[in-house]
Amino acid sequence: MLERLQEIVEKYNFLETRLADPEILNDQKNFQEIAKEHSGITPIVKAFKEYEEVLKQIEESKILFHDPDPEIRDIVRGELDDLQEKKEELEKEIKVLLLPKDPNDEKNVLLEIRAGTGGEEAALFAGELFRMYSRYAERKRWKMEILSESPTGIGGYKEIILLISGERVFSRLKYERGIHRVQRVPETETQGRVHTSAVTVAVLPEAEEVDVYIDPKELKIDVCRASGAGGQHVNKTESAVRITHLPTGIAVYCQDERSQLKNRSRAMKVISSRILDMRKREQDEQITEERRSMVGTGDRSGKIRTYNFPQSRLTDHRIGLTLYRLESIMDGDIDEIIDTLVAYFQAEAISKTAESIAH
């Protein structure tokens, strides 16, 4: 690890020299690329320098530990304990910083919520998860836009697709992907029996134009009249759009905008992100296995979390986390869950890295 850190420091110093080069300063594109790389390794270099300083202080304290004065030895003993604790904290921080970065972590997210088993009750819970993520986005000061929705008559959703934009959205929400199970007594249940329903949540990094090229010849585009509320406009204008990507069979239907052009744009955004997600899975089996171990495949193959309303209990089955404050969680207070998941999977990644180095 120390050899790798020394290499990173050398690279950091080299990049700093380049950033001060007048020729680089005059080439804004090149300057921005170097500045981004420099910024990416700055936290590692900062932590390593602090780590080296702590090691130096530990060595100095060990010399004083042999002082004949017992009071000085007691003071040094306390300082050594504090320095050792700081050293261990910095080692953990550096190991996390050295982990391979997920290239999608900085991206915005397409969040897809779909009612699964459970009929209307599942659709109602899909609506409540939509509210939970909306409230969480507000807390994080993220921007949220509904791209497509299929509401039910009693306030739920068969499906709703959101675009959430902001700082490192994917890095926080990627662990939400999977099956969310709810246990409670439905409002329509007259005998007070607890029912179990499920909702599927998919989390896709937003595709940028440079990420995915889609040949227009591979698209089938159908236009039709939108259904639902909307008055005369709905009946007379073919504004709804269904786009099908023929090679993959991925299809998206958008009708929420009155403009056919806007609906087409939204549908293409969703299709591009789904294709990006599919291609990345095919190209990198290691990432695929890691995601499957984290959140399942998103195809109803296994639950990641249970929301038990009678006991106000949430259980995340991947990490064995149980919390008894379901009301605040459903109001968007989910940072504790996400922080615990981040710490758990970082520890898993560090362990796997250590094993690979050992072998």
| Domains of the chain, first to last | 2-97 (1.20.58), 109-211+296-358 (3.30.70.1660), 216-281 (3.30.160.20)
Mean pLDDT across the chain: 83
Which letter does DSSP use for residue 197 in this model? E
Rounded to whole angstroms, what are the CA distances from 54 to 98, 107, 293? 19, 35, 37
Full pLDDT tens readout for the chain, 359 residues = 778 888 888 888 898 898 888 888 888 888 888 888 888 888 889 999 999 999 998 888 888 777 777 787 778 888 888 888 999 889 888 888 887 778 888 889 999 999 998 888 999 999 999 999 999 999 999 999 998 889 987 889 999 999 999 999 999 999 999 999 999 988 766 677 888 999 999 998 887 755 677 888 888 888 887 665 544 444 456 778 888 988 888 888 888 777 788 888 888 888 888 888 887 767 555 544 544 444 444 333 479 999 999 999 999 999 999 999 999 999 999 999 999 999 888 888 877 765 555 44
Rounded to whole angstroms, what are the CA distances from 115 to 23, 199, 200, 276? 56, 5, 6, 24
* Sequence-distant (≥ 6) Cβ neighbours of residue 310 within 8 angstroms: 183, 184, 185, 194
Please tell me the distance from the alpha carbon of residue 263 to that of residue 68, in angstroms, as a whole number. 81
**What per-residue confidence (pLDDT) applies to 163?**
92
DSSP letters spanning 300-359:
SS-EEEEEETTTTEEEETTTTEEES-HHHHHTT--HHHHHHHHHHHHHHHHHHHHHHHH-
Please tell me the distance from the alpha carbon of residue 77 to that of residue 79, in angstroms, as a whole number. 5
